[in-house]
Amino acid sequence: MAPPPSSGQNDMLTICLVGFAQLPAHFCHIALGLSFPLLRDEFSVSYTALGLVITLFYGVSGMSPELCIELATLPNVVAIKYSLPREMHKSLTKLAGDTLIVSTTSEEEWLDNITELNWQL
């Protein structure tokens, strides 16, 4: 019988799995911009309107921790991917307690947030 994997191996596996899970989201962000000519023709809108929609999409990711907590009270909201500075992650994690699972888009800070802020996997 093989020995169980060490903690370092488990951490690396988890990080790899999360990285691969994020791949479709990153692909969609790139593909959305490339699909503008098709969307413009299909919906008869201007590039400006499409750009505004994308700007709003990314602008929503800049919400304050307090607004995120308000959204967490909505039915079926259980997690948020928060892509702001680490101090705001700390604030949101503290405010959320057990009501909201917080994650980050930063691969550099991801493991630190799990260990220091007790984020769930």
Q: By the 8 A CB rule, do 95 and 66 touch? A: yes
Summarize pLDDT for 11-51 with one digit per residue, the tens.
788 778 877 877 877 787 788 888 889 989 998 999 998 88
Q: Is residue 66 part of a domain?
A: yes
Summarize pLDDT for 73-106 with one digit per residue, the tens.
777 777 777 767 777 777 887 887 777 777 777 7
Assess whether pLDDT exceeds 70 at residue 6: no
Assess whether pLDDT exceeds 60 at residue 2: no
Domain that holds residue 40: 9-60
Q: Is residue 4 part of a domain?
A: no
Q: Is residue 30 part of a domain?
A: yes
Read off the pLDDT band of 3 (50, 70, 90): low
Structure tokens of 88? Answer: 């705001």
**Does one domain contain both 29 and 68?**
no
Q: Is residue 2 part of a domain?
A: no
**Does one domain contain both 50 and 94?**
no
**Does one domain contain both 17 and 56?**
yes
Structural domain ending residue among the three candidates 41, 60, 79: 60
Q: Rounded CA gap, 91 and 7, in Å?
A: 28
**Does one domain contain both 38 and 76?**
no
Quick one: how far is CA 91 from the chain centroid?
16
Domains: count for the chain: 2
Q: Rounded CA gap, 3 and 57, in Å?
A: 47
